[in-house]
Structure 1
Amino acid sequence: MSYEKELHIAQLAVQRATLLTQRVFHEKAKGTLSKDDNSPVTIGDFGAQALIIHAIKSNFPQDEIVGEEEASSLRENKNLSTQIWHLVKSASLEDETSERELGGPIESEEQMLQAIDAGNSAGGAHGRIWALDPIDGTKGFLRGGQYAVCLALISDGSVKVGVLGCPNLPVDDAAPLSADIDDPSGQGRGVLFGAVAGCGATSRPLGRGALQSSQAIRMKSVPDITDATFCESVEAGHSSHGDQAAIAKALGITRESVRMDSQAKYGSIARGAGDLYLRLPVRKDYQEKIWDHAAGEVIVKEAGGEVTDAEGKRLDFSRGRTLKENKGVVAAPRAVHAQVLEVVKSVLGSKE
């Protein structure tokens, strides 16, 4: 299959949802709730999930969706639900150009809630399953940093399509890697990454309505590993900063790592702004969620990279809603991945 339509719809849907999240990003009050695991969720998360699931179900009604959010808290909080409904309606009115392709507007608040709850697939090894994170890096979103809207199509356990909307990354693929947002107005920022397995990866500016022109992206070659730049998570609870520092030292890397939230890290290394991304396990029982890695994995691989877990195993998206068979993530240009992985194994193995 070419997956041309799937990529097109995914990019349009992510672009429109990203525009919705930008509106919330610039508001002081973001309608934040705490989920059962104490992680935050905002009205932007719910609104983006509703828009994307509506678009996917309108175009591919038989496909399943693994979404991060569900609407029970909104059914108990009518004021918050109505606030999100106004956001969703406004997003449709602002994007009439792609409205028809995305299945028309969501007609009611109840239809919006049903769309959010349609992300309840258990995942698995068979059939077509979309993995959706409506705002990856919610803490970055709340602190005014990097975040991403992430969508991927998994077919029979293999990622086939990946799209990342990164509104706070610079449009220019050659811009130096930085987690900072120098210009709060967003000028020169907002990029949409896309990839289909076997067809390469692209970036394009975020726009309104029709998609902007794209260009191919490739990871940067790293002839001398000591010159490499690491990306890592901001939150120490997501990835072991101490292990990361030990690995950098063992590789002879002296440049300070760049810490940013979300799968913006995958997009950044895919276009050569950074080189290596490590997400190292902080506890033995932690299981990564498939929506946190599916889109980024295929984009990096199609840009000339390799992505495995910390033991060298491929990321297994066929086991449900989590990567339960994997521990950590190692993403690097294909030519140096084995070298990086060897050091990762050595550093982590020395702790056992």
Structure 2
Amino acid sequence: MSTYSHELQVAQLAVQRAIILTKRVFHEKAKGTVSKSDASPVTIGDFGAQALIIAALKHNFPQDEIVGEEDADDLRSNAALRDQIWDLVKDTSLADSKAEQTLGGPIKSVEAMLDTIDLGNSSGGAKGRIWALDPIDGTKGFLRGGQYAVCLALIVDGEVTVGVLGCPNLPVSDTAKIDASIGADQNDDEGKGVLFSAVLGCGATSRPLSTGGLTPSQPISMAPISDITQATFCESVEAGHSAHDDQAAIAQKLGITKQSVRMDSQAKYASIARGAGDLYLRLPVSETYQEKIWDHAAGVVIVGEAGGVVTDAWGKKLDFSLGRTLSSNKGVVAAPKSIYPQIAKVVVEVLSSK
């Protein structure tokens, strides 16, 4: 398939194993929430998923660096939370023994778990192989029963090369269109749970999530749009993440009358890549905010390989070579190639008029 077939397989299996853990936590009433210094919520699912994925990556690619969202500082001073996470991590494995062997088997001890979580401390950069990991993207959606995703991408010399998104609460069917209801009151019942993947230059796929080996995949592509006024656009739930007023003005200028679809996480990228939605706008809310690379890397390569274009709000390619943030970019615009120029023109018009 490609020179990155092993990386893709490991990433898919690692994300799938981590989702077994996140689904267990999703069904718990008390998710072990703590507050980080930036006031965003963290759950035992974040820490546990990060430990499992980094362990798999380091077993297979020991020299690779990892940019992970979490660190273990809080756990080292909170024994109750640490033990709760350890109970989950040590009991989580894939039902397929061959797949589990590929990932390196279980983490050996509590201390090993904490040290593994801290291996996500790379500063990123333009050289070498760097994995970008968001163990639960859309933590607030996860906490309130909306959409969330487990996100993993390989960046090689600053270029996103492999991307995997696990979306437990999205419908398996690629033909299921999304609407405003998809962002809340969701579940991971039968018929839900999708693993999206892409390798640069090799196309994008989806497959049902499993608790064992990988299920068969099928190619995905963005939906053809002949009438932009009928497009469905996705945006973040949180007003602090994306400028809802600017996005509404853009939709109005484009003649889009459908209600926007607000959902958490890179499930938005996945949804437009498979044609369930059409475009994704995440416009800047402040001059100083910098997007994190783990919030976009996997989604960018999956949308690109599904026939889309992803840039910042001013039409610049997203630059993943500058560290842990997209420091040279502001906002995100993702759309099919056929209508991207029209979308981008209106975005600049609206932002320039402010």
The structure 2 residue matched to 1:264, chosen from 267, 274, 282, is: 267
Alignment match, 1:295: 298
Contact between 1:97 and 1:209, CA under 8 Å: does it hold in 2?
A: no
1:83 alignment partner in structure 2: 84
The answer to whether the 8 A contact 2:174-2:275 is kept is yes
In the alignment, structure 1 residue 247 sits paired with structure 2 residue 256: no
Q: Superposition pairs for residues 165-204 of structure 1, below 5 Å?
A: 165-178=166-179, 179-180=182-183, 184=187, 186-204=189-207
How far has the Cα of 1:19 moved from its partner? 1.3
Q: CA deviation at 1:104?
A: 1.6
Alignment correspondent of 1:348: 351
Asked if the contact 1:66–1:122 (Cα under 8 Å) also holds between the matched residues in 2, the reply is: yes
Contact 2:144 2:184 in 1 (8 A): no
Distance in 2, Cα, partners of 1:340 & 1:93: 43
Cα offset, 1:185, TM superposition? 5.7
Change (3 A) 1:339 1:183: closer
The corresponding residue for 2:136 is: 135
Contact kept, 8 Å, 1:64 with 1:121, in 2: the verdict is: yes
Q: What is the total number of aligned residue pairs between the two structures?
A: 351
With the length of structure 1 as denominator, give the TM-score of the two structures: 0.98
Q: CA deviation at 1:183?
A: 6.7
Which amino acid counterpart does residue 318 of structure 2 have in structure 1? L
Distance in 1, matches of 2:121 and 2:226, equals: 45
Q: Distance in 2 between matches of 1:93 and 1:172?
A: 23
Aligned residue in 1 for 2:6: 5
Is 2:297 aligned against 1:286? no
2:52 counterpart residue number: 51
Q: Residue type of the partner of 2:136?
A: I
Matched, 1:305 2:308: yes
Q: CA deviation at 1:184?
A: 3.8
Q: 1:93 to 1:331 in 2, by over 3 A?
A: closer
Over the aligned positions, Cα root-mean-square deviation in angstroms equals 1.2
Q: CA deviation at 1:181?
A: 6.3
Q: CA deviation at 1:258?
A: 0.4
Measured against aligned partners, the alpha-carbon deviations of 1:30-60 in whole angstroms (never above 9, x if no partner) come to 0000000000000000000000000000000
Q: What's the counterpart of residue 336 of structure 1? A: 339
Equivalent in the alignment of 2:39: 38
Equivalent position of 1:61 in the other structure:
62
Distance 1:336 1:162, change over 3 A: same
Amino acid of the structure 2 residue aligned with 1:232: E
Q: Is the 8 A contact 2:183 2:264 kept in 1?
A: no
Cα distance in 1 between the residues matched to 2:11 and 2:144 = 27
Deviation per CA, 1:261-300: give whole Å up to 9, x if none: 0000000000000000000000010000000000000000
Amino acid at match of 2:66: I
What is the aligned partner in structure 1 of residue 121 from structure 2? 120
SS of the aligned residue for 1:319 comes to coil
Distance 1:327 1:95 in 2: 43
Task: Flag structure 2 segments of 5+ consecutive residues without an equivalent.
Answer: none
Deviations 1:45-90 (A, max 9, x none): 0000000000000000000000000001000011111110110111
* 1:224 and 2:227 are equivalent in the alignment: yes
Q: Is the 8 A contact 1:168 1:181 kept in 2?
A: no
Q: Aligned partners of 2:93 and 2:248: how far apart in 1?
A: 45
Q: Distance in 2 between matches of 1:146 and 1:26?
A: 14
Identity %: 72
- Matching of residue 111 in structure 1 with residue 112 in structure 2: yes
Q: Distance in 2 between matches of 1:96 and 1:69?
A: 28
1:183/1:328 Cα in 2 relative to 1: closer, same or farther (>3 Å)? closer
Listed one character per residue, the Cα deviations across residues 154-187 of structure 1 (whole Å, up to 9, x for unaligned) are 0000000000000000000001214156774612
How far residue 224 of structure 1 moved from its aligned partner, in angstroms, is 1.2
Paired letter, 1:61: P
3-state SS of 2:19 partner: helix
| Contact 1:16 1:95 (C-alpha < 8 Å) held by counterparts | no
Q: Give, in angstroms, the shift of residue 118 of structure 1.
A: 0.1
* SS of aligned partner of 1:322: coil
Gap runs ≥5 in structure 1: none
- What is the letter of the counterpart of residue 215 of structure 1? Q
In 2, Cα distance between the equivalents of 1:83 and 1:93? 20
Look up the SS of the partner of 2:120 in the other structure: coil
Distance apart, 1:96 and its partner CA = 3.9
Give yes or no for contact 1:31–1:42 (8 Å, CA) kept in 2.
yes
Query: Is 1:14 the counterpart of 2:15 in the alignment?
Result: yes
Alpha-carbon contact 1:11-1:194 (below 8 Å) kept: yes
* Counterpart secondary structure, 1:101: helix
Q: Tell me, in whole angstroms, the C-alpha distance in 1 between the residues paired with 2:95 and 2:215.
A: 16
- TM-score normalized by the length of structure 2: 0.97
Give the drift of 1:92. Answer: 2.4
